[in-house]
Chain A
Amino acid sequence: MLILSSITKAFGGLQVLQNINLAIPEQRIFGLIGPNGAGKTTLFNIITGLLAPTSGNIEFFGHSLTGLAAHQIARRGIARTFQNIRIFKDMSVIENVMVAILRQARYSALRVLVPPALLGRQCVERSEARSLLARVGLAAKAEILAGSLSYGEQRRLEIARALATRPKFLLLDEPTAGMNGTEKHQLMEDIVKMAETGLSLLIIEHDMRFVMGICQEIAVLNFGQLIAQGTPEAIRAIPEVVEAYLGNESDGDFATAK
């Protein structure tokens, strides 16, 4: 359970987030929507510890995340992907995933010095990474450079890398950006499967068909304020939400999305 209480963020005089209160339950697919500049990514940055909130508190499974460094928050079980893809382009696909496998966190520096042949230990990281890649359909491309993947594949690699940290919560920042219809559909299925394994997801997304299709609950952010929260059906019926998204027009993607 991830609980944000009265999160406020100001950059100088600019109030980017104002008094955000949000409780994101476990094993749900939770959507975060809102027009560009509403503060969605800023909220992600605050949850993951990249930015400190000006005020407010975040609680994760009963423990406050305030004051923790980003890597500590990641180790507590919050992983994310980025709006502008941030994979390690000059590393192979499988190495990208291996970087994020943290199980042997207490890997001793001295142990590294022993030749691997003497340890007789299989590379557990590699096999684990391989199965994660299989989950996102990239197993066949494990050894090529990550930078040479297509855009949609890079997004899937980023998800595999985030999953490698074994998160309880996964934050996806516009996962379908740059994907074609088939890829989007595939991703929807993958996300539903992930949620079924007990993962909780928080998704920023502009594709309304996608959001309405998979999210059980949606929160709407506009000009740094939470203006609505509820089931997809309820959200669609709120006039302020439609207005925030589309101005005063009543037609368009939002209204027609099912």
Chain B
Amino acid sequence: MEWLETFWATYSTLVLSVGTNVLLALSIYLTLACGLLTVANAAFMGIGAYTAALLSLHGSLPFYLSLTLGALLPAMVAVMLGPPTLRLSGVYLAMATLAFGEIVRITLLNTENLTGGALGLNGIPQYTRWFDVFAIVVGALYVLLRFAGSRIGRTMMAIRQDEVATELMGHNVRAYKLFAFTLGAGLAGLAGGLNAHFTFFISPNEYGFDRGVEILAMGVLGGTGSPWGAVIGGLLITLLPELLRTLGDYRPLLNGVILILIILYSPNGIWDLKRFIRSRHFVPVS
């Protein structure tokens, strides 16, 4: 068992990061599955991280309670932000959510009394254990897989393909979008809370534009056809830099090449490769 201890000592952060990144990928999967291009998830993650961390630091609340509140607050923010922004689509929605992300980051930077501003929050108790992350990822994945296989998932897929037609089939498209956005915000907040409790330190810049794009990359890379796509995307984006470590400075280059190849050959993500290959041999039953 000694090797396991050595392994854990070296890689525990990485393993936990895989977990929180998969959660983040699942959070963006929800909105992407409805055809919504939102990049607010990094900000929701930040709200969750700061909420949970502050409650642990100053409120000395039980860990699970602060985690829960760290998921609920971003979800509540999403409920308020959703109605005005989700009317937009495409790039405009991306811009609006991007602006929201900046507002959150700048607010965190400037409320120094509470958040410590640019210095961030230090000494967050390291409560997150591997099984917390594992249980939450498995739980979230289960729920989303059940959704995907039910009429909820079917309706979301229909919304992505043709909003107007779905609405005219009697579905409240806005409600579906708000549901996906809110649940995604909650998941991102949960990921933030978990993350804050093993990294010891958080600062506003961790939840800025870069993180937003990274989350989006995980979602798009893995594919939005199934929650499994998000899992693959989260795994890859986290592990790829580690696997390519030997390449040194060329690492980002190869990272980019892999992304381009996937976008070129399987625009619906890695998850879709299977379907792409299958469809070439597909003979319709007649």
Chain A residues in the interface with B (C-beta under 8 A) = 48, 50, 69-71, 74-75, 79-80, 82, 86-91, 95, 98-100, 102, 104-105, 107, 109, 112-113, 115-116, 125, 140-141, 143-145, 148, 161, 164-165
16 A–B pairs (Cβ distance < 8 Å), ordered by A: A70-B168, A71-B170, A71-B172, A71-B173, A80-B168, A87-B162, A88-B158, A91-B154, A105-B170, A107-B150, A112-B152, A113-B142, A144-B282, A144-B284, A148-B284, A165-B169
B168 contacts A79, C-beta separation under 8 Å: yes
CB of B120 to closest CB in A, whole Å: 37
B161 within 8 A of A: yes
B168 contacts A50, C-beta separation under 8 Å: yes
Question: Taking chain B's interface residues, is the majority helix, strand, or loop, or is none over half, making it mixed?
Answer: helix
Nearest residue (CB) in B for A102 is B170
CB of B168 to closest CB in A, whole Å: 5
A88 contacts B161, C-beta separation under 8 Å: yes
Cα distance A70–B169 in the bound complex, in angstroms: 9
A74 contacts B169, C-beta separation under 8 Å: yes
B151 contacts A125, C-beta separation under 8 Å: yes
A88 contacts B170, C-beta separation under 8 Å: no
Residues of A within 8 A of B166 (CB): 99
Cα distance A112–B157 in the bound complex, in angstroms: 16
A91 contacts B161, C-beta separation under 8 Å: yes
Nearest residue (CB) in A for B174 is A69
Chain B residues in the interface with A (C-beta under 8 A) = 142-143, 146-147, 149-152, 154-155, 157-158, 161-162, 164-173, 279, 282, 284-286
Cα distance A50–B285 in the bound complex, in angstroms: 37
Cα distance A234–B136 in the bound complex, in angstroms: 70
A140 contacts B165, C-beta separation under 8 Å: no
Candidates B147, B155, B286; contact of A99 at CB < 8 Å? B155
A141 contacts B169, C-beta separation under 8 Å: no
A74 contacts B152, C-beta separation under 8 Å: no
Cα distance A80–B167 in the bound complex, in angstroms: 11
| With A98-B151, A112-B150 as contacts: A91 and B170 at CB distance below 8 Å | no
A102 contacts B286, C-beta separation under 8 Å: no
Cα distance A74–B143 in the bound complex, in angstroms: 29
Residues of B within 8 A of A116 (CB): 149
